[in-house]
Amino acid sequence: MAQVLEFRLPDLGEGLTEAEIVHWLVEVGDVVAIDQPVVEVETAKAMVEVPCPYGGVVTARYGEEGTELPVGAPLLTVAVGASEPVADGGQAPEKAAAPETSPADEGSGNVLVGYGTGAPAARRRRVRQASPAVASVPAAPAVAPVPAPVVARANGSAGPAGPVAVVSPLVRRLARENGLDLRTLTGSGREGLILRSDVEQAVRRAATEAQTPASESTEAAGTAGSVSARPDVVRVPLRGVRGAVADKLSRSRHEIPDATCWVDADATELMAARTAMNAAGGPKISLLALLARICVAGLARHPELNSTVDLAAKEIVRLPGVHLGFAAQTERGLVVPVVRDAHRRDAESLSAEFARLTEAGRSGTLTPGDLTGGTFTLNNYGVFGVDGSTPIINHPEAAMLGVGRIIPKPWVHQGELAVRQVVQLSLTFDHRVCDGGTAGGFLRYVADCVENPAVLLRTL
């Protein structure tokens, strides 16, 4: 006897609480195998194919492409033990308390938070008994909706429209920051689940209502109303990668008392050294790799900058290794892939890893693990044709080095005016972890290595 199991959006890790459905890989009525990818979703960090831990026939899908779902919301239902779709007009099979053994009861090799691994597929999750009366739909039986897990209720009792349910912590925070009482909202999700779009719509509605008197007065005076209320204004959802960047940078500015110092450096010798290294044959060495080697050496001399601040413990945590993030611009926006154990890599290995992660960023295949865990960030904004900038620290790191474009400029070299390849270096640092002397010492060391690469050889 087939058993209908509900597969919910799993916890994708790294603190992600929601994902947007990009593309369904299966249709209702399709037969799926254990661990077969069923949907492609976009999180704030990467595109992810989600595998289903159950094998059987897809009986229902929840959410259209472009819909944003919180972790724990239903994705689809699968009739485990069924080899083909239920006939039109048929009733959904009754869910047994103890499922029968079937070929689908094979272990899954994937780890999905909330589903485990290695257990029979039909036994990974205890399914709530459905109501005896279950409506049917063509080609597949409908399934009685099941409330999403880990539901936080805004109040302890049900109102006239039922209890208020919120899954995402981001939704609760958004409501709290805008002074919005969740009990006044009607959720558009399943079982009245309040989604972020519901809160955002309520916030916009409240803002519009607050502006109405002012708009009426303005119109009476013969002038145009609020620009944001005009019908030709384009609104872009602040979500996905753009939303994640906004949250991280806002948190950085809010929590970190940062300061920036900068210096111009003569990069002529560094460029010549790179040319000589690449002329010797073998894999090409990138300029970013050489700058990374210099940063790693500088952090070994000034470990205060390779740290983070634990506010709860009121401690500065100095980290033993350097996981070097680097800013990369992609079609999906700004991403910061992380090169693991950069302090153990040579210039050739760093070049290869930079190239791999950059290509993955452009193709949208970076994993959440590729984008987290950095301890220091290198930002080469010179590729955009600008000389300088004041980097914003990639929270929770303590510093970021920015590198401008390298261009010919007049420069005093060996007592004479000459045209040299000059670059501006900027260091933004968390003033809680060190003072200006440490930051200046690190930046001066980096500049010295850029101007005379032999300095790096002496300190390795």
Mean pLDDT of 410-433: 96
Q: By the 8 A CB rule, do 185 and 198 touch?
A: yes
Query: What share of the chain in percent tops pLDDT 70?
Result: 73
Residue 263 main-chain phi, psi, to 5 deg: -155, 145
Instruction: Write the pLDDT tens digit of every residue in 325-354.
Output: 998 887 777 788 999 999 999 999 999 999
CA distance 92 to 399: 58
Boundaries of domain holding 82? 3-141
**Token pair listed for 188:** 């558009």
Q: By the 8 A CB rule, do 117 and 110 touch?
A: yes
- pLDDT(452) > 50: yes
pLDDT at 409: 96
Question: Is 74 buried (19+), middle (13-18) or exposed (0-12) by CB count in 10 A?
Answer: buried
In a domain, 231, yes or no: no
Least confident range of 186-195, 370-379, 403-412 = 186-195
Question: Taking each helix axis from N to C terminus, what angle separates 436-451 and 268-279, rounded to the nearest 10 degrees?
Answer: 50
Contacts of 376 (CB under 8 A, 6+ apart): 295, 299, 305, 306, 322, 323, 324, 325, 397, 398, 399, 400, 401
279 with 380, same domain: the answer is yes
Mean pLDDT of 288-296: 96
75 with 167, same domain: the answer is no
Q: How confident is the model at residue 103 (pLDDT cuts 50, 70, 90)?
A: very low
Least confident range of 143-152, 270-279, 432-441 = 143-152
Which residue among the candidates 323, 343, 413, 431 is catalytic per the annotation?
A: 431
23 is catalytic: no
28 with 172, same domain: the answer is no
CATH of the domain at 161: 4.10.320.10
In a domain, 11, yes or no: yes
The number of domains in the chain is: 3
448 with 417, same domain: the answer is yes
71 with 174, same domain: the answer is no
Which comes out higher in pLDDT, residue 234 or 196?
234
Q: What is the mean pLDDT of the chain?
A: 78
Q: Which of 120, 141, 162 is the last residue in one of the domains?
A: 141
Instruction: Write the pLDDT tens digit of every residue in 207-244.
Output: 777 655 554 544 544 444 456 667 778 888 877 767 77
291 with 420, same domain: the answer is yes
- pLDDT(116) > 70: no
Q: Which of 112, 141, 170 is the last residue in one of the domains?
A: 141
Give the predicted TM-score (pTM) of the model.
0.57
297 with 428, same domain: the answer is yes
Mean pLDDT of 407-435: 96
pLDDT at 166: 60
CA distance 314 to 306: 17
pLDDT at 45: 62
CATH of the domain at 358: 3.30.559.10
Going by C-alpha positions, the residue among 331, 335, 353, 332 that lies closest to residue 344 is 353
Q: By the 8 A CB rule, do 448 and 264 touch?
A: no
